[in-house]
Amino acid sequence: MSDKIVKYTLNERDIPRYWYNVQADLPEPLPPPLHPMTGQPLTPPDLAPLFPMELIMQEVSTERWIEIPEEIIDVYRLWRPTTLFRARRLEKVLDTPAKIFYKYEGVSPPGSHKPNTSVAQAYYNKKEGITRIATETGAGQWGSALSFAGACFGLEIKVYMVRVSYDQKPYRRIMMEAWGANCVPSPSPDTNVGRRVLADDPDCPGSLGLAISEAVEDAMTRDDTHYSLGSVLNHVLLHNTINGLEAKVLMEEADAYPDIIIGCAGGGSNAAGLFLPFLKDKLDGTKPDLRVINVEPYSCPTLTKGPYAYDYGDSAKLAPIVKMYTLGHGYMPPPIHAGGLRYHGMAPLTCHLLKLGLVEAKAVHQLETFQAGITFARTEGILSAPETMHAIRAVIDEALACKESGEAKTILFNHSGHGHVDMHAYDAYLSGKLQDYEYPDALIKEALADLPKVG
């Protein structure tokens, strides 16, 4: 009864052995990243205080396939390959002719796609003799993903967690501590930048950009410590392509190919991890009509409202200057529940692809994402992370458009994680207390006035 199948699975033996590097196939190369102090193009040695050399080389590599070390595969085995689902019950409730598929990444130990890269990053750091990694986290998913990876490879992990999430989401901190990490609210008194901000505003809710500044300062000032970023960078997107490569094999098993691929976009990694291996077919001309949609919050509309400009990766101007769609490095978005989507910029790779017209972007309101997330929970069962609900909203909109037009399109989306530690957000929605925010026009204007004068 193949017409009833909802799960497509791979054997553990079929875990991909190579990541796909889209830099080999870009029609134009990425604009070069610049040094935050000099404004000159960055060189690999500039990054050596922050990252192990193997990750720096992956960042700039134009090799199409990069082999995954056996030690990383052995940890991936704990939850990979992940399952491809056909959302038949959602399709039925929407009464749509569209076929909806999703790849479910919420089965990893921390509950999201993020250990695809945290495990790889911990491994390369360990291999280079590093014993401690400092990082930031928004909603707490990245901090927990790196803490899990630190436990796998015996590394000490220090996490600067955006204050608003630290207060809203104590369970993420407890997960990090269970895996042996040290997690503090950002701004923290542990760094110069944190102390400066706290002196001005003791109640500062923090931002991802500010937390990045703290973690970068920590790593720059200690020899035993490197920095690690959970999204945005080329190597992070690279590591996540393992998911899209699995999905390609599984879609073939389902005898389907997506017309539209959808993912939510905070820094861009989970969406790109799924779509890049398929985009390869668009780049080589075999699937010219493939559509890719990156979905972001209306409160942090980087791709849909930001200019394509050089900007700092963090608010203290310590991280490299990269060309991206940006709302300005000082932008602090309203405190929406999708903490992982509150970053002022976006992966330069995703931005480059958007600029070239190869992918699309869409912004959605918080309230309509929860409506979609609840519909998903009541049909497919999974309680999704608020970030993931952004993708689900766009999927439902596309499926309803198919109902209007009568087209039986195939939609594939990345289900980036479960929402089991976001029950307070569900509670706010279910009790009618969840609200949309006004468009943060003035905040964005102010932040954009401070872009670096380079490029």
Q: Report yes or no: 307 and 325 within 8 Å, Cβ to Cβ.
A: yes
User: Is residue 416 at the binding interface for ligand PLP, with CB under 6 A as the rule?
Assistant: yes
In this structure, how many other beta carbons lie within 10 angstroms of the beta carbon of residue 213? 30
What's the min distance (Å) between Cβ of 406 and ligand PLP?
A: 32
User: Is residue 366 at the binding interface for ligand PLP, with CB under 6 A as the rule?
Assistant: no
Total count of residues recorded for the chain? 455
Ranked by CB distance to ligand PLP, the top (closest) residue is 417
For ligand PLP, the closer of residues 139 and 193 by Cβ is 139
In this structure, how many other beta carbons lie within 10 angstroms of the beta carbon of residue 203? 6
For ligand PLP, the closer of residues 96 and 416 by Cβ is 416
Among 87, 327, 385, 402, binds ligand PLP (CB under 6 A): 385
User: Is residue 121 at the binding interface for ligand PLP, with CB under 6 A as the rule?
Assistant: no
For ligand PLP, the closer of residues 330 and 417 by Cβ is 417
User: Is residue 114 at the binding interface for ligand PLP, with CB under 6 A as the rule?
Assistant: yes
User: Is residue 393 at the binding interface for ligand PLP, with CB under 6 A as the rule?
Assistant: no
Among 125, 270, 299, 366, binds ligand PLP (CB under 6 A): 270
Enumerate residues 332-361 that contact ligand PLP by CB under 6 A: 340-341
What's the min distance (Å) between Cβ of 442 and ligand PLP?
A: 26
Cis, peptide link before residue 45, omega less than 30° from 0: no
Contacts for 129 with CB less than 8 Å, ≥ 6 apart: none
For ligand PLP, the closer of residues 217 and 387 by Cβ is 387
- From residue 229, how far is each of 115, 179, 214, 219, 427 by CA, in Å? 12, 18, 12, 12, 31
User: Is beta strand 65-67 parallel, antiparallel or unpaired with respect to 84-86?
Assistant: unpaired
Enumerate residues 18-77 that contact ligand PLP by CB under 6 A: none
Size, binding site for ligand PLP by CB under 6 A: 19
For ligand PLP, the closer of residues 99 and 344 by Cβ is 344
User: Is residue 266 at the binding interface for ligand PLP, with CB under 6 A as the rule?
Assistant: yes
For ligand PLP, the closer of residues 241 and 416 by Cβ is 416
What's the min distance (Å) between Cβ of 266 and ligand PLP?
A: 3
What's the min distance (Å) between Cβ of 404 and ligand PLP?
A: 29
For ligand PLP, the closer of residues 172 and 409 by Cβ is 172
Phi-psi region of 16 (alpha: psi -120 to 50; beta: other; left: phi over 0): beta
What's the min distance (Å) between Cβ of 417 and ligand PLP?
A: 3
Q: Which stretch binds ligand PLP (CB under 6 A): 20-28, 128-136, 180-188, 385-393?
A: 385-393
Among 269, 302, 326, 366, binds ligand PLP (CB under 6 A): 269
User: Is residue 265 at the binding interface for ligand PLP, with CB under 6 A as the rule?
Assistant: yes
User: Is residue 140 at the binding interface for ligand PLP, with CB under 6 A as the rule?
Assistant: no
Enumerate residues 217-246 that contact ligand PLP by CB under 6 A: 231
Phi-psi region of 206 (alpha: psi -120 to 50; beta: other; left: phi over 0): left
Among 54, 218, 380, 387, binds ligand PLP (CB under 6 A): 387
Enumerate residues 177-196 that contact ligand PLP by CB under 6 A: none
What's the min distance (Å) between Cβ of 264 and ligand PLP?
A: 5
Strand order in the sheet with 156-162: 182-186, 156-162, 132-137, 225-227
Cis, peptide link before residue 81, omega less than 30° from 0: yes
Q: Which stretch binds ligand PLP (CB under 6 A): 51-59, 176-184, 383-391, 396-404?
A: 383-391
The residues that touch ligand PLP, with contacts defined as CB under 6 A, are 112, 114, 141-142, 231, 264-270, 340-341, 385, 387-388, 416-417
